[in-house]
Structure 1
């Protein structure tokens, strides 16, 4: 059975960089068995109703501005899989989770930054899903739980976001990680390792510096989805952790 993952997608420039995190993702992609397909929840696709991509050839979306010109020319040419999209829809619907298939949605940078490093040959079909930041963590977790059967069918479930993500507090010239970002991530890690859902679901109230680390919910929602997809054995491993720009957390969690 495939594990599920939470992966930080960082800034769009991640695909142009050579650092410990990009090396880690490349090595991880070479080590894990090739999946039948990828089901990826992107923090950069927000929707009030759970949306599922259904495009046969999803385009590369350049959903940002102010970055180097070559980023706007970058393409991750993956194919979709409408049968997988329909299976995702069936599983969500069976759990009473409203959803719809979006026939034209492409791959935003929450998807292609991670996938281009993990699966650089783009030879695995990809179905992306939206997140709804209005949902509480328990509801995000339930979405992940509904898709657990996909892991038994050799599909890879990835939540793409960031545990510490606050553009307003980034230090573009910072050489060291901010203590408040580290404290928030340490609090999360301690509770993820023991699968303390009660505390995690109340992170906004309990975690130190939660308002600074996660002022909005969309980048942390994929973490709960990834955990929910591994609700049976509830095993968690932090595979990588580093920071950019003082507080941008680049972490990867594996759930099995």
Structure 2
């Protein structure tokens, strides 16, 4: 059975960089059993109703600006998988999860940056999934949990976002690996509760973690909440392991968590 993962997609620049984190993700993809398909919840696809993609081949969305032209030339033409999309629909129906099928949207950079590092040849079918930041963490966990049996069928489930993602706090000139105390404080709080699968505390991270307002700012929690979707997919095992953690620009976290 494949584990599920929460993977930080960082800044779009990692798509063209060669560093500790990009090398880690490349090795991660090489070391995993080949999945039948990938189901990916992206922080950059927000929707009030759960969206499930159903496309033959994805276009590549460049949902960013003011970056090198090289980024805008990248293509990641992954294909969909009708069989897995149908299974997702059936699972959602059985679990009472409302959803809508999307037949047009391409892959945003929260998806293709991660996927391209894991599987550069775009040979694994992908089912792209939206996230709903307005749901409670319990509800987000439940959405992931409803798909947990897909892991038994060699489907890789990924939540793509960032545990510490506060664009207003970034220092683009500070790229020496140093980390702000408040960012490290939040990630260490998170680690202790993830490793103990302490859902009661995790569901209330915003009030219990002392630096949560900086790490997961009130104006946007969309990058943090994919972790609950990924956790839910591993509810039967309830084990969490930190595979990688590093930082850019003072506080942008590159965390990779394995669940199950």
- Counterpart for residue 248 of structure 2: 244
Selected match of 2:232 from 193, 215, 228: 228
Structure 2 distance, partners of 1:97, 1:246, is 39
1:83-112 CA-to-partner distances (Å, cap 9, x unmatched) read 211211211121111001100011000000
Structure 2 distance, partners of 1:92, 1:4, is 18
CA contact (8 A) 2:52 2:128 kept: yes
Does residue 218 of structure 1 match 2:232? no
What's the TM-score, normalizing by structure 2?
0.97
Structure 2 runs not aligned, ≥5 long: none
Structure 2 distance, partners of 1:62, 1:100, is 23
CA contact (8 A) 2:58 2:76 kept: no
Structure 1 runs not aligned, ≥5 long: none
- Counterpart for residue 201 of structure 1: 203
Q: Where does structure 1 differ by over 2 angstroms across 4 or more consecutive aligned residues? A: none
Does residue 139 of structure 1 match 2:139? yes
What's the TM-score, normalizing by structure 1?
0.99
> For residues 26-65 of structure 1, what are the structure 2 equivalents within 5 Å?
26-65=26-65
- Counterpart for residue 11 of structure 1: 11
CA RMSD of superposed structures (Å): 0.7
SS of aligned partner of 1:140: helix
Residue 23 of structure 1: CA displacement? Answer: 0.5
Count of residue correspondences: 256
